[in-house]
Amino acid sequence: MNYKDYHIILASNSPRRKELLRGLDIAFDVRVLPNIAETYPNTIVPSDVAAYISSEKADAYKDAITDNELVITADTVVIVDNEILGKPHNNAEAKQMLHKISGRQHQVVTAVCLTTTKKQRCFSVSTNVTFKQLTEEEVNYYVETYRPLDKAGVTSLEGSYFNVMGLPVQRIWEELNAF
């Protein structure tokens, strides 16, 4: 069997992930199970956290899919100074995070699992992102005007742009074809 023999399920409500997967011209449906924890043991190194969470999400779907379904789970983390930056809960946190990545390089790691009832393939893609040096005024304007940490101000990328957006579609395409 190849991926075309499966009904593809994207396990994400992310508008970006939906848009990126649509770009591969693959038919899919979205199915999101409630109450899947996105937590991880504090003993895991930051670069492995996305893989851990994506795998945990995939495991939650194993009993919820049929033999002809393939579910795609993913998780993305931003790492700076060996610390994971979570999603900001308010403007103050967003400003603090922007200051932390301002003028520096950080790493974006997205992990993806392709899971069927009989097989699972998980992989991670890392991208180094260099952010421009932001003034206090730029930080304030950015947080008040745009969605925080939406990658405005990126001056260079080493790796996949789509990975930074939340789904490494080129690698997914390769993995689906090798599945």
User: Which of 82-86, 115-119, 121-125 is predicted with the least confidence, judged by mean pLDDT?
Assistant: 82-86
Q: Are 162 and 20 in contact (CB under 8 A)?
A: yes
**Mean of pLDDT values over 147-171:** 80
Select from 12, 1, 15 the least CA-distant residue to 165. Answer: 15
Question: Residue 75: which residues within 8 A CB-CB, separation 6 or more?
Answer: 38, 49, 50, 51, 53, 54, 57, 110, 111
Instruction: Specify the pTM.
Output: 0.89
Looking at per-residue pLDDT, the higher value among 138 and 74 belongs to 74
d(CA 11, CA 29): 9
Catalytic residue (one of 25, 59, 67, 75): 75
Residue 178 to residue 129: CA distance in whole angstroms:
29
How confident is the model over 126-153, as a mean pLDDT?
80
Say if residue 148's pLDDT is above 60.
no
Catalytic annotation present for 75: yes
